[in-house]
Amino acid sequence: MSLLDVRDLSVVFQRRGERPFTAVDKVSFSVEPGQTVGLVGESGCGKSVTSLAIMGLLPRRGNKVTGQVMFDGADLLALRPDDMRDRRGRDIGMIFQDPLSSLNPVVPIGTQVAEVLERHRGMDRKAALKEARELLDAVGIPDPNRRLKEYPHQISGGMRQRALIAIALACKPRLLIADEPTTALDVTIQAQILTLLKQLVDETGTALIMITHDLGVVAGLCDTVNVLYGGKVVERAARHELFARPRHPYTHGLLNSVPRLDSPRGERLHAIRGSVADNIPWAEGCAFAPRCDNVVDACLEGTPPLEPTTTGGDLRCNNPVTEEVAVP
Amino acid sequence: MSDPITRPTVGAQRDGVDPAAVEEKPEGVTPSAIGRLGERKRARLDALAQASADKGGVSLIRDAFRRLRRNPVAIFGAAIVALFVLVAIFAPLLAPHDPAQRFDELTKNLTVDSIPGASSDFPLGSDPLGRDFLSRMIYGSRQTLFVGVVATLIGLALGVLIGALSGAFGGWIDNILMRFTDVMLALPALLLAISLVAMASRSSQWTVILAVAIVNVPIFARLLRGSMLAQRESDHVLAARALGVKQHSIVLRHMLPNAMTAVIVQATLTLSTAILEAASLSFLGLGDPDINRAEWGLMLGVDGQRYFEVRPELAYYPAIAIIVVALGFTLLGEGMREAIDPKNRR
């Protein structure tokens, strides 16, 4: 049985007097225990909203969440708020994008790590701080005794993200959701954080949902990848399949737009034309059609279905790409 | 962590690695890193680590305090405030006479057109009732600071309660509380204070304190509500919710401490307006009816005004004292605002 099974998850934002906006449109995917699953797409494709919906962290008003999020046999969307609160941090951990603003600026790091231990594991402050020291050590923070007493603004960005990872993993959750965990960091620190995440996930057997727009992150970490566009999954494939044979023109475009060190001098960078705003409602066709190089008449006649591919993935496209991409 | 001072000197280890030094490897540095560093560098690193470890955690407040100390204007304000506080505390030692005592040598020269001026015994002369004016000025600082500080604290406490409830829960609680503050803010502060004092059946210094406190409640409440709302949307509160932290700890431990900075700054600035408002009420004759109590606003309003043509000093000195102490609090408050404001962090 899957650890997490998201079925037909939809999130519709509805403000009074405004047209409803479907941020996530019947997204389904599952995560096996210990597996790393990527959610990839441009800004505004519904990645973060999906993760917030799974965690039950969307604002109470102004949106409608439908579908099912089965975790460990229970539908998280149907849980009472108190029960869901008990699960957050204990069964499901989360890491956010900006490590500075995600830490409480007026509370020392150690207290922030200890807080979640006191909350979910019933430890007293002393035991929690001792455990916090070990957690900081485990995520590679040097001199943890000193860091325990320091405030977020006193430590470096990479160390802050390490501290957040320590907090998220403090209760040994079975699922960790990382929402763009490396976006706010510089490249060398990004690599360190990704290595750390990979190591911790391997050691603890925690399943990981990696939300990112960075295909490099996906390439290094994920077992399977879900590519989202306009709130829908457009392609799902195992990692090596996706990089070797991207079938959806959007995935293909994303991979092509990654700059290469071995490309000839003077060659222009590839880009997907248009912007995320150039889309049509899924009901009238494929949302990507206005930007697509492979567009055919069928693309403007109703939503293309998500169909299984011969390589074990799923694809939502009328005219998939067939050429192979040389894997760097 | 080993003490860097006891480490062997650089010269002693030039020939090779001192085995004793290798044994007392500092914790937290991995062996491979140690291997690559020279002994000299290692000692230096240890010293640096030690120095920053001694410094310990620097909280936002302590950090702000450091910036405050570098601001000469704020220091000037703080010096004024400190001076007045010291005068208030040591009033019995500083004042040459009892402020309530009427002296025969003063009263005998007292007429409607002449009030005795400075003499060796009475450096600032007499007040219209034959009491020592200097002693009354000195004791007046007590009354002024007491009223200002207590009124501000009461206003702060009530305002924080209302603002925190409003900002944390929102909805109908917020609506009711904020309409209530709107009504209070709609009236000019002094007018509201006067009507509050007028409502009391018997006036005392506490009616003044309460009136000034209540006038300031909506300001604190509004300010705190605003920052609580901003905190509610902040990333670290979302992160705390993602960890399953309970609602009351989110409000008390994550939102309130972060939202309080603006209110604390406002409180310093309010000290000066509270002093002015209290003095205004006394000036208008709405203060403490006890004629023996020395209070600058009363001294300015009753004695100063009535005998201005006879002895204008009776008005000048209390007026100057009120202005200077209010200025001191304002400068200190402005300095604190600049020091705490995250946008000014360098």
Task: Give the pLDDT of residue A42.
Answer: 84
Q: Helices (DSSP H) in B233-307: which residue ranges? A: 235-242, 247-249, 256-283, 296-298, 305-306
Q: Nearest CA to CA, how far is B209 from chain A (Å)?
A: 33
Name the residue of chain B whose CA is nearest to A84's CA: B244
Name the residue of chain B whose CA is nearest to A149's CA: B57
Confidence of residue B20 (pLDDT cuts 50, 70, 90): very low
Arithmetic mean of pLDDT, A108-116: 91
Arithmetic mean of pLDDT, B299-325: 85
CB within 8 Å: A151 and B240: no
CB within 8 Å: B242 and A85: no
The two structure tokens encoding residue A67: 């579908």
Confidence of residue B49 (pLDDT cuts 50, 70, 90): low
Is the pLDDT confidence value at B344 over 70?
Answer: no
Task: Give the pLDDT of residue B45.
Answer: 59
Q: Which of chain A's residues have a Cβ under 8 Å away from the Cβ of B50? A: none
Q: Are A49 and A58 in contact (CB under 8 A)?
A: yes
Task: Give the pLDDT of residue B48.
Answer: 58
CB within 8 Å: B57 and A94: no
Task: Give the pLDDT of residue B10.
Answer: 40
Q: Helices (DSSP H) in chain A: which residue ranges? A: 47-55, 81-87, 109-121, 125-138, 144-148, 157-168, 187-204, 215-221, 239-244, 249-256
Is the pLDDT confidence value at A323 over 60?
Answer: yes
d(CA A164, CA A181): 10
ipTM of the complex: 0.84
Is the pLDDT confidence value at A92 over 90?
Answer: yes
The two structure tokens encoding residue B189: 């502060």
Arithmetic mean of pLDDT, A296-321: 88
Q: Which of chain A's residues have a Cβ under 8 Å away from the Cβ of B246? A: 85, 119
Q: Nearest CA to CA, how far is B228 from chain A (Å)?
A: 14
CB within 8 Å: A86 and B244: yes
**Mean pLDDT in chain B?**
79
d(CA B341, CA B233): 19
CB within 8 Å: B27 and A143: yes
Least confident of A98-112, A256-270, B43-57, B173-187: B43-57
Task: Give the pLDDT of residue B6.
Answer: 40
Is the pLDDT confidence value at B203 over 80?
Answer: no
More confident residue, B119 or A146: A146
Give the rounded percent of residues in chain A with a pLDDT score beyond 70: 98
Is the pLDDT confidence value at A139 over 70?
Answer: yes
The two structure tokens encoding residue A22: 């479907």
More confident residue, B45 or A111: A111
Least confident of A188-192, A321-325, B116-120, B138-142: A321-325
Which element (helix H / strand E) includes B228?
Answer: helix B205-232
Task: Give the pLDDT of residue B201.
Answer: 77
**Facing residue for A119 by CB, picked from B239, B242, B244:** B244
**Facing residue for A105 by CB, picked from B29, B60, B239:** B60
Q: What is the pLDDT of residues A37-90, one digit of tens each?
A: 999 988 878 888 999 999 998 887 888 899 999 998 889 999 898 899 999 989
Q: What is the pLDDT of residues A11-27, one digit of tens each?
A: 999 888 888 888 898 99
Q: DSSP 3-state helix, strand, coil percentages of chain A (rounded to 5)? A: 35, 20, 45
Beta strands A36-40; A92-95: pairing state:
unpaired
- CA A186, distance to chain mean position in Å, is 19
Confidence of residue B177 (pLDDT cuts 50, 70, 90): very high
- Residues within 8 A of B (CB atoms), A 64-93 only: 85-90, 93
Arithmetic mean of pLDDT, B39-48: 62
Give the rounded percent of residues in chain A with a pLDDT score beyond 90: 31
Q: Global pTM?
A: 0.75
Arithmetic mean of pLDDT, A147-159: 87
Least confident of A253-257, B93-97, B113-117, B326-330: B113-117
CB within 8 Å: A149 and B254: no
Is the pLDDT confidence value at B222 over 90?
Answer: yes
Task: Give the pLDDT of residue A114.
Answer: 92
> What is the residue-wise DSSP string for B152-219?
HHHHHHHHHHHHHHHHHH-HHHHHHHHHHHHHHHHS-HHHHHHHHHHHSSS--HHHHHHHHHHHHHHH
Q: Which of chain B's residues have a Cβ under 8 Å away from the Cβ of A167? A: 243
Confidence of residue B43 (pLDDT cuts 50, 70, 90): low
Arithmetic mean of pLDDT, A23-38: 91
A104 in B contact zone (CB under 8 Å)? yes
Owner of token pair 């010269």:
B11
Is the pLDDT confidence value at B123 over 70?
Answer: yes
Give the rounded percent of residues in chain B with a pLDDT score beyond 70: 81
- CA B211, distance to chain mean position in Å, is 20
